[in-house]
């Protein structure tokens, strides 16, 4: 019987010998590789935290003690050790979440997958529950995010009793981690050595017993201890904040991990434990991948690590178009927040390494950096996922739009993204961007429109955002494409009974629904609303020709495209013809984009049925 099969609760781990724990770690890695080869998911982050997760659950009593995972894609091993072993539908509709999920287990405290949040969560728990331990596991690049340092600054003042911060240092986020604060290689490793603690206390006691003239013995003792410490090991950012620190320790040495964590529990103050792990450990294809160590994968061949089938994505298309634009414009600079390859910037980074900037997981900084570059005469393009750009809302408004700067936002993974679930669906961007004065917002329906709108954007004298989904592209358009004038929509087909006004990927849905309705005797027109802001001046004329108008969007209906249409028509007497169809007022689950869209009635069949219902046929 496999040892993993004997683990149904973290308490089972405490019954195992060292040899059995070593075997368990091997079984977990084998399970992860085999399972994720069939489902896809975050592979290498979890291969790197196997021993760390085992040690945490042997030393701490979860869920009484709270283990909070930053960048929650590191929590697969945690799921396995807390009784969740059915990975057959990982990240599928109705299956296991790819992140911690409060609905799944009492061992999961937060629904997190946005980086740099764990320390703030943990401080709140530690202040409210001082009799139990709170452990924040932060790493995979999350220490490049400014929010983590805001929390550390507060922790240094609040000083909760039983807060332990585990820094999982694997040198990477998606790709190698950037930034001076991420370079932890010089951090020390002796702070929890009992000989060091004994020496400090003994020295203080001796010096306090000596007659001192000028400064007190206590002051001299403090100065002496600091001098010795600086000789042994240089200060860290944690020392500067007055936090107890231990590191760097081998994150794959189980006895050492357990011993260090046990010692951390002895201090009645916040403690930082710095562990070094190997992202992708135990799986040679992941280690060999220099780009992202097979960070996030689809279905793949176990022997080679190569994907099983691949298709051209809109991300790939925009990357090629941006590279061609960079060749023509020396002032064009691209920026991303720790996701150069994931947002399609890898080709440009290879050819123009000095013109592609990775800020680390720091979206706020990335946007204001773009503002500074634009002020200095550059044409910055900021490529960030929709869900992560939310974190820089204030910077988009106050640092870019207020100054009317020519910054282009390429918003990848807009709309329903699929398997990463509620924290990653980009279904709010139309609402939060549409309210910003002077910001143009585009929603291309396909690769050709995406490339054409990029040409519009890089020539536009002001801020402009283009949002597009995680979706396949049927072809690579010829670049450079002819620009699409700002505010110009496209009438794809005309009808008599119903007009579909569709934004982005919903144009295809509208066309398919219109074809179905034609077979049911309903004549439909379709207009591709390529610019959500500003809207086409012909809107009123189109609406006036149809008794029923349906807006379609993969954004929440609150403040989205449909709301914009209603606002525009409010004083025309035409608004009562309009029905708004979009994402309902709730967070959506994980699953394929098609499954999730169908669950909220945004597939062609559901849209057609809804129209028939509206018409009373």
Domains defined along the chain, listed by start: 4-191+233-276 (3.40.50.970), 314-467 (3.40.50.970), 491-615 (3.40.50.920)
559: left (phi > 0), else alpha (psi -120 to 50), else beta?
left
Please, what is the angle between helix 254-264 and helix 50-59, to 10°? 40
Residue 281 among the catalytic residues: no
Query: 524-528 and 356-358 as β-strands: parallel, antiparallel, unpaired?
Result: unpaired
Task: Give me the pLDDT at residue 186, please.
Answer: 40
| Across 544-566, average pLDDT | 98
Task: Give me the pLDDT at residue 207, please.
Answer: 55
Task: Give me the pLDDT at residue 212, please.
Answer: 54
Q: Answer whether 333's CB lies under 8 Å from 380's CB.
A: yes
Q: Answer whether 505's CB lies under 8 Å from 539's CB.
A: no
| HSE toward the beta carbon, residue 83, CA cutoff 13 A | 12
3-state secondary structure 9-32: CHHHHHHCCHHHHHHHHHHHHHHH
Residue 363 among the catalytic residues: yes
Task: Give me the pLDDT at residue 602, please.
Answer: 98
Q: How far apart are CA 404 and CA 397, in angstroms?
A: 10
Q: Where is 601: in which H helix or E strand?
A: none
Task: Give me the pLDDT at residue 238, please.
Answer: 86
Is this model's pTM higher than 0.85 or not?
Answer: yes
Percent of the chain with pLDDT over 70: 89
pLDDT tops 80 at residue 179: no
Task: Give me the pLDDT at residue 195, please.
Answer: 47
Q: Residue 268, Cβ neighbours under 10 Å: how many?
A: 12
Q: What is the pLDDT of residues 402-439, one digit of tens each?
A: 999 999 999 999 999 989 899 999 999 999 999 999 99
Q: Answer whether 114's CB lies under 8 Å from 387's CB.
A: yes
Higher-confidence residue of 296 and 16: namely 16
Q: At 458, list the tokens.
A: 């890089």
Give the N- to C-terminal CA distance of the chain in Å, as an integer.
61
Number of residues that make up the chain: 617
Residue 391 among the catalytic residues: yes
Set 111, 258, 324, 363: catalytic member: 363
Residue with tokens 């570059």: 373
19, 23, 89, 98, 282 from 27: Cα distances, Å? 13, 6, 20, 20, 11
What is the spatial order of strands in the sheet that 271-276 belongs to?
66-69, 134-139, 163-169, 271-276, 244-250
| Across 51-72, average pLDDT | 96
Task: Give me the pLDDT at residue 222, please.
Answer: 55
pLDDT tops 70 at residue 228: no
Q: Which of 11-20, 467-476, 542-551 has the lowest mean pLDDT?
A: 467-476
Task: Give me the pLDDT at residue 198, please.
Answer: 52
| Across 54-68, average pLDDT | 97
Task: Give me the pLDDT at residue 204, please.
Answer: 58
Higher-confidence residue of 147 and 218: namely 147
Set 162, 355, 378, 391: catalytic member: 391
Q: How far apart are CA 593 and CA 84, in angstroms?
A: 24
Q: Where is 583: in which H helix or E strand?
A: strand 578-583
User: For residue 72, what pLDDT band results from cuts at 50, 70 and 90?
Assistant: confident
Q: How far apart are CA 219 and CA 610, in angstroms?
A: 78
Q: Output phi, psi for 387, to 5 deg.
A: -65, -30
Higher-confidence residue of 477 and 604: namely 604
Q: Answer whether 503's CB lies under 8 Å from 529's CB.
A: yes
Q: How far apart are CA 135 and CA 24, in angstroms?
A: 23
Q: Output phi, psi for 118, to 5 deg.
A: -65, -35
Task: Give me the pLDDT at residue 176, please.
Answer: 53
Set 29, 58, 66, 279: catalytic member: 279
Q: Which of 30-39, 147-156, 470-479, 492-501 has the lowest mean pLDDT?
A: 470-479
Percent of the chain with pLDDT over 90: 81
Task: Give me the pLDDT at residue 174, please.
Answer: 47
Q: Output phi, psi for 35, to 5 deg.
A: -70, -45
- Mean pLDDT, rounded, of the chain: 91
Q: At 132, list the tokens.
A: 């139990």
Q: Which of 24-28, 215-219, 491-495 has the lowest mean pLDDT?
A: 215-219
DSSP string over 189-248: S-TT-HHHHHHHHHHHHHHHTS--SSS-HHHHHHHHHHHHHHHHS---HHHHTT-EEEEE
Task: Give me the pLDDT at residue 189, please.
Answer: 40
pLDDT tops 60 at residue 177: no
Residue with tokens 């990653």: 424
| HSE toward the beta carbon, residue 350, CA cutoff 13 A | 9
pLDDT tops 50 at residue 190: no
Q: Which of 17-26, 177-186, 559-568, 570-579 has the lowest mean pLDDT?
A: 177-186
pLDDT tops 90 at residue 140: no
In sequence order, what are the beta bridge partners of 381?
A: 334, 408
Rg (CA), the chain: 27
Task: Give me the pLDDT at residue 199, please.
Answer: 54
- The DSSP 8-state label assigned to residue 105 in this structure reads -
Cβ neighbours for 80, distance < 8 A, ≥ 6 positions apart: 4, 7, 28, 31
Task: Give me the pLDDT at residue 34, please.
Answer: 97
Q: At 233, list the tokens.
A: 């090991």
User: For residue 474, what pLDDT band results from cuts at 50, 70 and 90?
Assistant: confident
User: For residue 54, what pLDDT band results from cuts at 50, 70 and 90?
Assistant: very high
| Across 372-397, average pLDDT | 98
Q: Which of 135-144, 232-241, 263-272 has the lowest mean pLDDT?
A: 232-241
Task: Give me the pLDDT at residue 231, please.
Answer: 47
pLDDT tops 60 at residue 218: no
Q: How far apart are CA 566 and CA 559, in angstroms?
A: 10
Q: Output phi, psi for 77, to 5 deg.
A: -65, -40
Q: Answer whether 607's CB lies under 8 Å from 513's CB.
A: yes
In sequence order, what are the beta bridge partners of 289?
A: none
pLDDT tops 90 at residue 185: no
Q: Answer whether 105's CB lies under 8 Å from 83's CB.
A: yes
| Across 285-314, average pLDDT | 90
Q: How far apart are CA 176 and CA 293, in angstroms?
A: 9
Residue with tokens 């290689």: 185
């Amino acid at each position: 019987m496999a040892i993993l099969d004997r683990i149904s609760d973290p308490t089972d781990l405490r019954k195992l010998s060292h040899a059995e724990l070593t075997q368990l770690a091997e079984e977990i890695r084998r399970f992860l590789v085999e399972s994720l080869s069939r489902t896809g998911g975050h592979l290498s982050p979890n291969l790197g935290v196997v021993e760390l997760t085992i040690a945490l659950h042997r030393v701490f009593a979860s869920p009484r003690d709270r283990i909070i995972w930053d960048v929650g894609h590191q929590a697969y091993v945690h799921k396995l050790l807390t009784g969740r072993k059915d990975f057959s539908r990982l990240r599928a509709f109705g299956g296991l979440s790819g992140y911690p999920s409060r609905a799944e287990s009492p061992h999961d405290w937060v629904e997190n997958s946005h980086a740099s949040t764990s320390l703030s969560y943990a401080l709140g728990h530690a202040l409210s529950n001082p009799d139990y331990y709170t452990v924040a596991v932060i790493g995979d690049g999350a220490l490049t995010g400014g929010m983590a340092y805001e929390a550390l600054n507060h922790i240094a003042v609040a000083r909760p009793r039983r807060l332990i911060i585990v820094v999982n240092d694997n040198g990477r986020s998606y790709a190698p981690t950037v930034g001076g604060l991420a370079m932890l290689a010089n951090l020390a490793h002796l702070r929890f050595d009992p000989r060091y603690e004994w020496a400090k206390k003994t020295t203080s006691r001796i010096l306090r017993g000596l007659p001192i003239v000028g400064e007190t013995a206590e002051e001299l003792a403090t100065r002496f201890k600091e001098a010795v410490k600086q000789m042994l090991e240089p200060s860290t950012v944690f020392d500067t904040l007055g936090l107890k620190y231990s590191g760097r320790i081998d994150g794959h040495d189980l006895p050492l991990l357990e011993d260090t964590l046990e010692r951390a529990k002895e201090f009645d103050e916040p403690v930082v434990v710095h562990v070094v792990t190997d992202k992708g450990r135990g799986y040679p294809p992941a280690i060999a991948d220099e780009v992202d160590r097979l960070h996030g994968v689809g279905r793949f061949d176990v022997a080679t690590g190569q994907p099983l089938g691949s298709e051209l994505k809109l991300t790939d298309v925009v990357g090629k178009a941006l590279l061609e634009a960079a060749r023509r414009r020396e002032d064009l600079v691209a920026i991303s927040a720790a996701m150069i390859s994931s947002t399609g910037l890898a080709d440009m980074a290879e050819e123009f390494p000095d013109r592609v900037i990775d800020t680390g997981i720091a979206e706020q900084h990335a946007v204001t950096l773009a503002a500074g570059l634009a002020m200095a005469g550059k044409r910055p393009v900021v490529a960030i996922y929709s869900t992560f750009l939310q974190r820089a809302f204030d910077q988009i408004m106050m640092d870019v739009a207020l100054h009317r700067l020519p910054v282009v936002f390429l918003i990848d993974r807009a709309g329903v993204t699929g398997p990463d679930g509620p924290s990653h669906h980009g279904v709010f961007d139309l609402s939060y961007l549409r309210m910003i004065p002077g910001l143009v917002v585009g929603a291309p329906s396909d690769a050709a429109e995406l490339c054409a709108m990029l040409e519009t954007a890089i020539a536009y004298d002001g801020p402009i955002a283009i949002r597009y989904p995680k979706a396949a592209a049927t072809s690579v358009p010829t670049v450079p494409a002819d620009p699409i004038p700002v505010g110009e929509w496209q009438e794809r087909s005309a009808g008599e009974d119903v007009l579909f006004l569709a934004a982005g990927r919903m144009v295809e849905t509208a066309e398919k629904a219109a074809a179905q309705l034609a077979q049911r005797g309903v004549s439909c027109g379709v207009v591709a609303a390529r610019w959500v802001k500003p809207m086409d001046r012909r809107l009123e004329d189109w609406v006036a020709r149809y008794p029923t108008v349906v807006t379609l969007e993969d954004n929440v209906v609150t403040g989205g495209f449909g709301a914009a249409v209603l606002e525009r028509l409010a004083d025309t007497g035409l608004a009562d013809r309009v029905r708004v169809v979009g994402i309902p007022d709730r967070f959506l689950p994980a699953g394929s984009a098609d499954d999730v869209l169908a669950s909220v009635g945004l597939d062609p069949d559901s849209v057609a049925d809804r129209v028939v219902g509206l018409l009373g046929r």
